[in-house]
Amino acid sequence: MTLFAFWRIFDCLYAIPLILATGMVYSASRHEDIHDVLRRGLRLSGWIFGFMLMVLVVMMILF
């Protein structure tokens, strides 16, 4: 069961382009300088990824 759950984690890789695009586009709508866009976009993507990972861990523990 645990192995199966671990295998399903690879499905979450689909989230990476989605998170990166969301972070970058949101950041681009807030800043004009490309360096700010990239830096803050990556930071926001990191936050989203961390938050989702936290929720995933909590759900794996609960269920």
Partner 1 sequence: MRDKDKSKDRTKTDEIQLRDPYIACWLAWLVPGLGHLYQGRKAKALVYAVCILGLFFFGAALSSGKCGLARCVYVAMRNSPGADRDMRYYYLAQVWVGVPAFPALIQYFHDPDGEDPLWNGLMAPPLKVTPGRPIYSENDNSIDNIRKKLNRRFEVGTLMTAMAGLLNLFAIFDALYGPVNEEQEEQERQRRLEEKRLRRKAKRRKGDDFAEV
Enumerate binding residues for partner 1 (CB under 8 A).
11, 14, 17-18, 20-22, 24-26, 28-34, 36-38, 41
Cβ distance to partner 1 smaller for residue 17 or 61 = 17
Cβ atoms of 27 and 37 closer than 8 Å: yes
**Cβ distance to partner 1 smaller for residue 25 or 52:** 25
Of 39 and 60, nearer to partner 1 (C-beta) is 39
Burial of 7 (0-12, 13-18, 19+ CB in 10 A): exposed
**Amino acid (1-letter code) at residue 60:** M
